[in-house]
Chain A
């Protein structure tokens, strides 16, 4: 079991471009969480998904951000028309029902 895989590890985008962050959960895990972390700050919940369903997106900005977790393939966090304030580390975590969550290594997004 390779663990939670996130790619890319580092992503540089110019203002106005789109950023796509991928998260492959651990085998057998159907719950995926996305978090955002600024330097020296805590984990900010963005969205919680189960296969093909968004369960809670209360932490995600209403505009420019979207997430999906299709039946096949990784979960995708998509940020359209990126701005400098989107620069952060984005972590995903996966879990089975009622077990610990395992984190990926994160994607560090830099908007220039």
Chain B
């Protein structure tokens, strides 16, 4: 079955710098890749997603890239701000829509 690996488990960056979180997946049939942000004590919320028919998607300071050949996708956050501090989860799914989750990355923004 599908397996999703996420790295790093913890990422500490200086405020204003960029952060990159990477995920790899095993099932080449996966076609939907969302990223969720979970702030402390709150529910996970979708921040951006990408489908397998595109290679990159951008929304203001957040972008996701997908490399289908290598079976990996990445979250890029530019000009990081304190409110970006949270745990970020990637996931992958096929058309039957069972999400397989990465283990999460704790992003710490240093002032």
Interface residues of chain A, those whose CB is within 8 Å of chain B, are 31, 33, 41-43, 45, 48, 55-56, 91, 93, 95, 97-98, 100-106
Asked whether A98 lies within 8 Å of B95 as measured between CB atoms, the reply is yes
**Contact pick for B46, options A48, A100, A104, CB 8 Å:** A100
Asked whether A91 lies within 8 Å of B44 as measured between CB atoms, the reply is yes
**Contact pick for A100, options B34, B42, B87, CB 8 Å:** B34
Asked whether B43 lies within 8 Å of A42 as measured between CB atoms, the reply is no
Q: Flag B90-103 by CB within 8 Å of A: 1 or 0 each.
A: 00000111111111
A91 proximity list for chain B (CB < 8 A): 43-44
B3 contacts chain A at the CB level, 8 A cutoff: no
B96 proximity list for chain A (CB < 8 A): 55
Question: Could you tell me the distance between the alpha carbons of A50 and B10 in the complex, rounded to whole angstroms?
Answer: 34
Asked whether A103 lies within 8 Å of B44 as measured between CB atoms, the reply is yes
Q: In whole Å, how far is A15's beta carbon from the nearest beta carbon of chain B?
A: 25
Asked whether B103 lies within 8 Å of A42 as measured between CB atoms, the reply is yes
Given contacts A55-B98, A91-B43, A95-B97, contact A100 B89 (CB under 8 A): no
B18 contacts chain A at the CB level, 8 A cutoff: no
Asked whether B101 lies within 8 Å of A42 as measured between CB atoms, the reply is yes
Q: What are 22 A-B interface contacts by the 8 Å CB criterion?
A: A33-B99, A42-B89, A42-B102, A42-B104, A43-B44, A45-B99, A45-B101, A48-B98, A55-B96, A55-B98, A56-B98, A97-B97, A98-B32, A98-B97, A100-B34, A100-B49, A101-B34, A101-B99, A103-B36, A103-B43, A103-B44, A104-B43
Question: Could you tell me the distance between the alpha carbons of A43 and B89 in the complex, rounded to whole angstroms?
Answer: 9
Q: In whole Å, how far is A97's beta carbon from the nearest beta carbon of chain B?
A: 6
Can you name the residue of chain B whose Cβ is closest to the Cβ of A96? B97
Question: Could you tell me the distance between the alpha carbons of A103 and B102 in the complex, rounded to whole angstroms?
Answer: 16
A95 proximity list for chain B (CB < 8 A): 97
Question: Could you tell me the distance between the alpha carbons of A91 and B43 in the complex, rounded to whole angstroms?
Answer: 8
